Amino acid sequence: MTVLQCGARELDLALPVVMGILNVTPDSFSDGGRYLSLPAALTQARLLCAEGSRIIDVGAESTRPGAAAVSVQEELDRTLPIVEAIARELDVIVSVDTSTPEVIREAAARGAGFINDVRALRRTGALEAAAATGLPVCLMHMQGDPGTMQQRPHYTDVFAELDAFFAGRMAACALAGIGPEKIVLDPGFGFGKTLDHNLALLGRLQHFSAFACPLLVGISRKSMLGALLGGATVDQRMHAGTAAAVVAVMNGARIIRTHDAKATCEALAVAGALLERENRQQ
């Protein structure tokens, strides 16, 4: 059984859990601009909790393809009041979706219990900042950067290249004082991958069990789902997203990051019951 110590709270990953997405950005691909104010963000955080989210992932810098960079001060201003308010008012683990060392440190000081970094702590100073917090971290794979990642994704062997990336980042974490018991891995669906790469990774997530770290999967409302549905718009992808979540969990994922918390929690109740039954029989 895997238990992550997320600051003052524990996260039991014996069964899959939902991470609800709270974007406090004007330009995120699905919900940009909806939760910029503190009252709106808190209302959404309460809803995500009521729908079953065990973690709320607060992000103040969009990482959609072609997204513009955000200054450190702007990211701090967007993130910190909301992290502090959620940590104070709700019984939930607050995750901070950031690559910025200053945001990592200050969010942890205000009650964040988890660091979710799409750049896998590769920004200067991020490793040291994360290590100083003592919090669990999610290391995501991304080929390129948000501005260019989807222009021409190419791999000779997508699994071998992700293996090498994860091994390298885990080694860097170990040198900084972040042990494997504090690491979660994310293959980075849609971050420098074609539809075929994404499907291959989803179908063989168990491949990454060799790292003995929990897996986080974020597919919610992404363009790969739109492509599979013949061009469905962002708000037409929920059912495909919940199906993908179930596939991911049955193939080893333990944290599902989603905009659609209620539907995903209900779908995972079925998958979780099957996994629990299998665990009892072993």
User: Is-catalytic flag, 46?
Assistant: no
Q: Which of 110, 254, 257, 262 is catalytic?
A: 257
Q: Which of 222, 237, 254, 262 is catalytic?
A: 222
CB 16 within 8 Å of CB 255: yes
Helix axes 72-89, 101-109, angle to 10 degrees: 20
Distance between alpha carbon 13 and the CA centroid of its chain, in Å?
15
Distance between alpha carbon 83 and the CA centroid of its chain, in Å?
16
List, in sequence order, every residue forming a beta bridge with 70; answer none if it has no partner: none
Distances (CA, A) of 131 to 115, 252, 268: 11, 26, 32
User: Is-catalytic flag, 78?
Assistant: no
Q: Which residues are catalytic?
A: 222, 257
